[in-house]
Structure 1
Amino acid sequence: MSSGIFSGGYSHNLDEKNRVIIPQKFRLKLGEKFIITRGLNGCLWILTDDMFRDLDQRLSTQPLLDENVLFLQRVFYGYAVETGTDPQGRVALPANLREVAGINKEVVIIGTGRMIEIWSKERWEQFTASITDEDLSASAKAVQLA
């Protein structure tokens, strides 16, 4: 469903039912149904259905008994929840996903190009505080952007 790039960052709070508002800009690109799963670096990933299928396609072409493949399958599929937003644009975050992401109340929702990440405010601040120009340069070179 995604017909664009997810970009920008937003701060929100969980409500009393552990729901968070997904910014309208993101909802328009996500479609009615999407996947939330455990991401890297202590955040959650929100993937469009197409992105999740792409991930599945890539994993399913890997050797079945490879330990790295099994590990990723257990994590990505084991935590994956197919969901959507309610009429107010909120999505409920299940307890197991809140726990692995350290989410209690305040969250930061960021677009990362092809997907969305949900971070606890504390983890996001720790992550961004550790970013250096050298890290950015090294990462750009590693993926051949520089």
Structure 2
Amino acid sequence: MGNFLGSHAINMDAKGRLAIPAKVREEFSHAGGSRVVLTANAADDESERCILLYPEAQWAEVRAQIDGLPNMSRAVRRLQRLMLGHAVAADFDAAGRILIPPTLRRHAHLEKKLMLIGQGKKLELWSEERWNDWLDGSGDGDDIPPEMQALSL
């Protein structure tokens, strides 16, 4: 479900609306509808703050996993508060736009210029500046997990 690939430079208007490219809207349609669920990325690193966009059916699966976690852990409560507490459903308007709520815009430091990044089953919405900063980062301190060491790309 979901075949969100590629990156798209898009603009957000002063009201917080952005036009989703037609090809991406088609993928939402193939994934089971036109409703989008937007939520905060739960990354600990401030530099990775972005908005996650899920097809509604995919979000239902993710939400069930998050709801099923035992909330006696601070990390679990943080994840639940960020992802469930910021989640909002959005419909495409006649012009193919969705509205990003102010709380999510502030969370991800979104301004006019944005990047929409495909991640398979979901999309990430980044500030263009933060996205470019992230791309330019070296990642030198990152440990490569064994699952990635086995990849042949």
State if a TM-score over 0.5 links the two structures.
yes
- Whole-Å separation in 2 of the counterparts to 1:18 and 1:64: 33
Give the TM-score normalised by structure 1: 0.86
Q: Residue type matched to 1:12 in 2?
A: I
Whose helix fraction is larger, Structure 1's or Structure 2's? 1
Correspondent of 2:35 among 33, 36, 44: 33
Give the TM-score normalised by structure 2: 0.82
Aligned positions of 1:1-146 closer than 5 A: 3-30=1-28, 31-39=33-41, 40=43, 41-131=48-138, 138=144, 141-143=146-148, 145-146=150-151
Cα distance change of structure 1 residues 17 and 61 upon mapping to structure 2, 3 Å threshold: closer
- Whole-Å separation in 2 of the counterparts to 1:97 and 1:124: 16
Deviations 1:13-60 (A, max 9, x none): 112322111111111222221200111311100011122111122122
Cα distance change of structure 1 residues 65 and 132 upon mapping to structure 2, 3 Å threshold: closer
Cα distance change of structure 1 residues 145 and 23 upon mapping to structure 2, 3 Å threshold: farther
What's the CA shift for 1:144? Answer: 6.0
Equivalenced residue count is 142
- Whole-Å separation in 2 of the counterparts to 1:144 and 1:5: 25
Runs of 4+ in 1 over 3 A off after TM superposition: 131-135, 141-145
Q: Any stretches of 5+ residues in structure 2 without a counterpart?
A: none
What's the CA shift for 1:64? Answer: 3.5
- Whole-Å separation in 1 of the counterparts to 2:7 and 2:22: 12
Q: Residue type matched to 1:138 in 2?
A: I
